[in-house]
Structure 1
Amino acid sequence: MKNNWTNHLHGYVRVRIDGDYPERFLNRCIEEEISIWQIKKIGDNRIVCYMNVEDAKRIRPLLRMTNCKVSFIQRNGVPFLIRRMIVRSGFIAGLASFLVIMFILSNMVWGVEIKGASPQVEHELRQVVTEMGIKRGAFQFSLPSVELIQRDVTELVQGATWVGVRQKGTTFEFEVVEQQLPEEAERYSPRHLVATKKAIIHKIFVEHGQAIVKPNDFVQKGDLLVSGYIGKKDAEDEEKELVPAQAVVLGEIWYQSTVSASLDTLFTTLTGEKKSKHYISLSGFDIPIWGFGSIPFEESAESLHERPFRLFNWSLPITYKRNDYLETKRHERSYTKEEAVRAARERARVELINDLPHDAEIIGEKVLHEAVENGKVNLRIHYQVIEDITSEQPIIQGD
C-alpha cells in the first residue's frame, strides 16, 4: 500500500516483528485486511514494516496466534505531531507569543522624524500629523496611505511649500521645504514701463521716471506709460538722466464672459451615514473579518483603504483592507429664471476673479444678452475691471 497523505493525516507507525516465522504474522494481517507496506526482512526472525495507527490496535490477537512480538520503533503523522507539541507546549506557546508580539510591534508607529523644518514649522507639522493619528503607538493599518498623508500635510501646513513623506519600517519621515520669500532686488537697469493691455488710464502713481500718460487717456498694448528718461521735456534724450522707471498705473479693462445655467439641476450629496467592511487579503484573496451583511443604502460612494502588514522591515503578503460605503442621495433642484440668472452671474464672477491678478478690482458689471433656450439661461456679461497694466521694457543705450 502506498504511503499517501491519508496515512500522514491519521498517523502511521513503523513496527519491528520478531518471531520464529514472522511471515505467518504477515499472512494473518493480509487475511484481516490490515494495511502494511514497505516490508523489509532483517535476518531470519525479524521483519520491519509500516502500518496505520488504527490497524496497529488490531494486531494483538494475531501476535498471540503466531507467537510473535512487536516493537514500535517510529511514530509519524499529525496525531503524533500534535502530541509532541502538547508535550512541548511551553516552548510552542513562547515561540508563538514572540512572533505575535513582534508582528504587532512591527505594525505600529514608533517614530516620527521631521527634517528641514524650522522650530515653528516643525511644531505646526507635529500638531497636524498628531491630529491625523500619526503618533507613537498607533497601528499603521489604521492610517491613510503615504500619498494621502503627503497631500494633506502639504495643504494644511501653512509655512511649508512641500512636504515629502516616507515610511521607513516603523518610522514616518517628513522632509520639509519651507516657503522662502525672496527679497525684492534693487533694480538698477534703466527701463520704461509700457502697457500690457488695451485700457483707459484710471490712476497713475510714479515713483521714478516721467509719466507719459494721464488719467482718462486711452492706451493700446505696448504704448509707453512711464519713461525712464527724466529731465526737461525739450532736452534731447542724451541730456536726460536714465533711471529704472517705477510706477503703478491702474487701467480700466473690459472683459466679456459667456455663461449658462440650467433651470433644472440634479446633484448628489453625502448623508453622513457610513458602513465599513474589513478584510484580510492573502495573496489577493479577501477574507472578511468584520462588517458582514449587505449594504443598507440604495446609493453609495465606495472608498477603499489598503495597508500591508509588516514584520520588521519586510512587507508580508498579508494586507488589511477596509471598504467604506458612504450613503449618497440625489436631489433635483428647479430654479426660476431669476434664480438661474443670479447663479450664472455668481459663477461667471468667480471664474473671472480666478483669472484676474490678486489686486484687481471689478467696478462694473452689466448683462448684455439674456436668453432662455433648451432649459438653460444663457448670459453674456460685460465687466469693468481696474488692474495694474504696467510691464517693463529695458532701455538699451545707443538705440
Structure 2
Amino acid sequence: MKRSFNMRQGQVTLSLEGEEVLALVNAAMKEEVNFQRIEAKSPTFYKVKIDPVDAVRMRSLARSYNVRMKILSKEGWPFALHWLKKQPGFLAGPFFFFFILYMLSNIVWNVDIEGASPEVEHMIEQWMQEEHITPGTSHTELPPLDVLQKEVVSAVDGVTWVGVRLQGTRLKLQVVEQTLPDEADEKNEQHIVSTKRAVVREMYVEQGTAVKEPGDFVQPGEVLISGILNPPEPGEESSDNTPPQSVAAEGEVLGEVWYEADVTFTPGPDLSLLSGEREVAYQMNAFGLTLPIWGNQASEAFTEPVVRANTHSWRIFGYELPLQTKSITYYEQSQQTAELPDDAMEITAVELTSHELKKELPEDAEVTGEKILHRRDENGKVKISLHYQVMQNIAEDAPMIQGD
C-alpha cells in the first residue's frame, strides 16, 4: 500500500516489531489511522508511514498489542518549522548575511584619481581627507556627485574640470588640469640675413622692414629684413616725430639656391660568364680512398673552370655504407667587362646626386629643377656634372651690431 507524500502535511516513518504486528495494523486501519505506506519486511516486522496527527494513537495501539514501535524519521514542513523554532540562529543567519552584504556594498572602499599630476593628486587627496571623503565613507554621507565636482574644482588650484563617478564601491575622479600657454621667449633686437647665395623669390615679413625684394640677388650675410622700423633714407637723418625703433625682425624668405654635383663612373667590373661548355669526372670514395672512374682529364679541359661537385652516399636498410660516388663538373667561363649605356649613366647620376642632396637639404626645401651641364671622359673614366635649382628658406636671425 502506497500513497503520494504531502510535504505540507508531512509524514512520520515508524518501525513496528512484534508477534501481533499484523493485528495492530488491522486495528489501526479500523481506527482510521491514515497510512501513507505499509511495507512488510517479515511477518513480525513492518515499516509504515503515517500522518503526524496519527502518531499518538498509533503509539497507544502498539502498547495494547505488545508491539514495539520506533520513530525512524520525520518529514515535511511541520517538522521543519518546529526545528526552526528551536534554532533561531539558523533562520537569522541568512538575513544578517544579506544585510551585512548590503551595508558593505554601500561604502566607498577605493578612491581613484586619474589624469592628475602627482602634485595636484596630493592636493585633491588632502582636500578629500579634510572633507571626510575617504575609504570607509558611506554612500549616504557623500554629497551629490555634481556638487562634489564643483567643490573639487573650486578648492584645488590648477584643476579645470573634474568628472566624478561612483561605480559600486569605487569613487573615480577624472581630472583635467589647467594648461597655461608657454610664454614666448623675448627676442633681442635682430635682423634677418641671408644664409645662401641665392635669388629672392618670396618674402613673408611678420615684423621689421623688408630690405630686399623678390628677384634680388643676395650674398650670404646680407640683410633681408631689417629690425629697424622707420629707417631714414640714405643720406637723410631721422625726423624727431618718427624716430627709428629697433625690434626683433621676424619673417621667412624663400630663395632659389643653386647646387652643383659631379659623378664619376669607372669602367664596369669584369663579369664571369659561362660559355655552356663542360666536362664531367666521376670518382668513388671507399674507406677513405679515392678511385677515379671516368673523366680523369676533365680538370685540364679549361683554363679557369667553375667547379661544381655532387656526392652521393649509399645506404642499405637505413644503414650508411662507407661507399660514396662523386661527380665533378667543370664549366668553361669567360671574362667580359660590363659597360653602362650613356642614358643609363645620366639617369643613375641624377638619382645618386638627388638622393645625396635631399639628405643635406632642410625638410621644407624643394628641388625645382635639374640639368646636366656637361659630360666628359678623363683617363678612361666618365665624369658628369649636374646643376640643381632648390627653393628653400634662406633666412636666419642675426643680432644687431651697435651702430646699425
Q: TM-score, normalised by structure 2?
A: 0.39
State the structure with bigger RCO (CA 8 A, min sep 6), 1 or 2: 1
Greater C-alpha Rg = 2
Q: TM-score, normalised by structure 1?
A: 0.40
